Amino acid sequence: MVKIIWTQRSLTDLKSIAEFISKDSLRYATVTIERIINVTLLLETNPRIGRMVPEVGKVDTIREIILGNYRIIYKISSSTIIHILTVHHTSRRFRQTTLKRSK
């Protein structure tokens, strides 16, 4: 089983998402964060379930899971460790430099 490690960047992303949504609905903010966290648990047994990130090119170890309007981008660091790099809203432009800041 793979260990999932959330980077500081990804934790900051979750906090920002929760704060933004909670301005309208605390309940929906909670549900959204729970859904994001729960989908990442699939990586424990299926680390390659996500697709490769198109902006990164053919780097097989950088992958993403799409959940609604969010891209959960992760790195398969080893056969036992996955780092969640960022949780990115699809309405915002994604730049490869976002990944470099999350390490």
Convert the chain into a string of H (helix), E (strand) and C (coil): CCEEEECHHHHHHHHHHHHHHHCCCHHHHHHHHHHHHHHHHHHHCCCCCCEECHHHCCCCCEEEEEECCEEEEEEECCCCEEEEEEEEECCCCCCCHHHHHCC
pLDDT at 56 (0 to 100): 87
Record: fold of 3-101: YaeB-like fold (3.30.2310)
Whole-number pLDDT of residue 102? 52
How is the chain split into domains, by residue range?
3-101
Predicted local confidence at residue 1, as pLDDT: 85
Mind listing the pLDDT tens digit for each residue in 44-74?
999 999 999 998 888 899 999 999 999 999 9
Query: How confident is the model at residue 63, as a pLDDT?
Result: 97
**pTM given for the model:** 0.88
